[in-house]
Structure 1
Amino acid sequence: MAAKERQRLDRVLAHMGFGTRKMIKKLIKEKRVQVNGRPAEDPGLHVIPGRDYIEVNGEPLVYEEYIYLMLNKPQGVLSATEDRYAKVVVDLLPPRYRAFHPFPVGRLDKDAEGLLLLTNDGELAHRLLSPKKHVSKMYYAVVDGIVTETDVEAFRQGIILNDGYRTMPGELTILRSGTESEVELTIYEGKYHQVKRMFEAVSKRVLYLKRIAMGPLRLDELLRPGEYRELTEEEIIKLRELL
């Protein structure tokens, strides 16, 4: 997305991941940055990204204000931007993407894996997480215990959690029932540890949890845990249609 406001050249290049202000100053001094066909001389030169033609090392700069990344979050990584003791999802990204200061849209338990959206678009994130929007989230889970049609009906009615809160109706599908059952569950809110607490309320324990969809986004099957890709234009449009 092109920005229309004038910005300092060094700020634009830093935003696009070309390094610190000091590194960018060196690029400019070495005549490796051109603006509208002329070598830039001043890091403080004001430009309009997307309108002014900027080249770095002979390559045209394609300016992006926002980024949208689909991550297959692995187990053991926190859905956060920083933590003193544990690895966070932003650590999985290269500097090029970290330069945009993306953050996870919502939480996914540390021991869970699957679809997590990372972006720096605060308005989109706020609306996707708004309780009024009821954006769906679909999970695949392995559960300790025999899941029955009685459980399916209980989830359909809404589960009363251990703090007395009754959840919105959820759609529970049994894939395989046994001493360890496989299920898919779609919920429309995001309470703390909600999936695990819903199963605990019917005397069962989640052994493995993977988010496979969020609203119109479905986890790309080609992404292994820890891998990511940018959303397609079609996926971004579908997200914005929710708003």
Structure 2
Amino acid sequence: MKAALASLMLALGSLLAAAPSSAQVGPSPAEAAKYTGLHAAAQRGDAEAIRKLAASHANLEARDGNGRTPLHVATFARQREAIRALAQAGAKLDPLENDRYDAVTIASVANDEETLALLLSLGASAKQVTSRYDGTALIAAAHLGHAGVVRQLIKAGAPLDHVNNLHWTAVIESVVLGDGGPRHQDTLKALLDAGASQQLKDRQGNTPLQLARSRGYMEMAKLLEKAGAR
């Protein structure tokens, strides 16, 4: 029975490990080729065109077929000057597209620290509930082992102990959806150093320490033990 449950959990973990990247859908080449106006300027990073279009009262919050604003498009494309121009023109920094991702979460999942830093400096929030899992950018980054992104989000005030609809926190996701290796160890350390709870349990009543031990992630278990986990 225990073996079957372990196999089920591993299968679930593998499925969910692919979820953020597959759920976040950037514009395809064919879709981008059809863009006009601000979406086209955002995709190619044309800050001057953005300023001119904004001055002529183009809709800064226009949506494409997947609910992406020009800001989402610029973030997917890593067009930082376009992001800056959109923000200066008054574009909203925190809208959600159809899959419920904001620009901060898009940059976080992409491990795009430079774009994330720009968004946060412009006033984008690290605190939003995003994605179909009712998670946060911090949870998504912890899941993927993006330790530098995690540290940026923590500094920006991301909620350390938000619980998503899978009943997982960033600490738990760094364990159950990680590989136990250096990136996820560094991610877990960043969370623990910031004061994230190591006592919150998953839906089955398992603590992060129990989850780390059950997976054989002994370095992560040591980090949790050092932080006072039980």
Pair in the same fold by TM > 0.5: no
Query: What is the TM-score normalised by the length of structure 1?
Result: 0.24
Q: Which has the higher strand share?
A: 1
Q: Which has the higher contact order (CA 8 A, sep 6+)?
A: 1
Q: Which has the higher helix share?
A: 2
